[in-house]
Chains A and B, each alone.
Chain A
Amino acid sequence: GAGVSQSPSNKVTEKGKDVELRCDPISGHTALYWYRQSLGQGLEFLIYFQGNSAPDKSGLPSDRFSAERTGGSVSTLTIQRTQQEDSAVYLCASSSQGRRVSDEQFFGPGTRLTVL
């Protein structure tokens, strides 16, 4: 079946502009995660959704970052007033339930964001 998909695959924007990144999880997966992968930094957790609610937003780096999930499916990560340090690959993952730490997370290919 289809895996996690993300769009766009690449995004180049100018400093100060807003961007929206989209994630389509595996059908039926209730848990959805956003991570950020910066050069030399590994993956950093941003936010976790269970259904449409976000019980863990602890990884969002500033109030310029926000995310929502509608219909228990698609999620959008929005970065306002982008800065050069926001340049990274933004990865989305989903798991079937997310209520057990052992539930496997399936990752999408990521959106490569470049802020000029």
Chain B
Amino acid sequence: QKEVEQDPGPLSVPEGAIVSLNCTYSNSAFQYFMWYRQYSRKGPELLMYTYSSGNKEDGRFTAQVDKSSKYISLFIRDSQPSDSATYLCAMSRGSSNTGKLIFGQGTTLQVKP
């Protein structure tokens, strides 16, 4: 069983929809949670970063972490065609000083005009 599970999709939504992306994990040592966005043939870029439990909002994006359930989410409001990409969740152990990231499989999102 993988440490981080993420539904690969694909997920297709109409423009303007609210998108919910999720990951579950098994290792309670994870303390840092990130969402990366990856466009086709490009490297991933950091979207959101959260430490421990709670919510974080940045424009149309909201990240949620529920450590008790080992479940993290990324919400995209008023989705745009430019949001079409693969979204990867990533996690890191707080006790590690290497910064090694453990990634989910990635969810492919398509926002249709």
Identify the A interface with B (CB < 8 A): 4, 31, 33, 35, 40-45, 48, 50, 55-56, 59, 91, 93, 95, 98-105, 107-110
Whether the Cβ atoms of A105 and B46 lie closer than 8 Å is yes
A sample of 8 inter-chain contacts (CB < 8 A) reads A42-B4, A42-B104, A42-B106, A50-B98, A101-B99, A102-B49, A102-B51, A103-B99
Contact A33:B99 (CB < 8 A) given known A102-B51, A110-B43: yes
- In this assembly, does B75 line the interface, its C-beta being within 8 Å of a C-beta of chain A? no
Interface centre among B90, B94, B99, B101 (most CB of A within 10 A): B99
CB distance from B76 to the nearest CB of A (A): 20
Query: Roughly how many angstroms separate A43 CA and B89 CA in the complex, as a whole number?
Result: 10
Count A-B pairs with CB separation below 8 Å. 70
Interface extent on B, as a size class? 20 to 34
- In this assembly, does B60 line the interface, its C-beta being within 8 Å of a C-beta of chain A? no
CB distance from A11 to the nearest CB of B (A): 15
Give the residues from 91 to 109 in chain B that come closer than 8 angstroms, CB to CB, to chain A: 92-94, 96-106
Query: Roughly how many angstroms separate A27 CA and B51 CA in the complex, as a whole number?
Result: 27
Whether the Cβ atoms of B100 and A33 lie closer than 8 Å is yes
Give the chain A neighbours of B105 by CB distance below 8 A: 40-42
Whether the Cβ atoms of A107 and B104 lie closer than 8 Å is no
Query: Roughly how many angstroms separate A65 CA and B15 CA in the complex, as a whole number?
Result: 44
Whether the Cβ atoms of A105 and B98 lie closer than 8 Å is no
In the A-B complex, the 3 residue pairs with the closest CB atoms: A107-B43, A42-B105, A43-B103
Query: Roughly how many angstroms separate A104 CA and B103 CA in the complex, as a whole number?
Result: 14
Query: Roughly how many angstroms separate A50 CA and B97 CA in the complex, as a whole number?
Result: 10
Whether the Cβ atoms of B43 and A42 lie closer than 8 Å is no
Which residue from chain A places its CB closest to the CB of B94 in the assembled complex?
A: A101
Query: Roughly how many angstroms separate A110 CA and B51 CA in the complex, as a whole number?
Result: 28
CB distance from A42 to the nearest CB of B (A): 4
Give the chain B neighbours of A100 by CB distance below 8 A: 97, 99
Query: Roughly how many angstroms separate A35 CA and B43 CA in the complex, as a whole number?
Result: 11
Query: Roughly how many angstroms separate A104 CA and B6 CA in the complex, as a whole number?
Result: 22
Give the chain B neighbours of A4 by CB distance below 8 A: 43
Whether the Cβ atoms of B92 and A108 lie closer than 8 Å is no
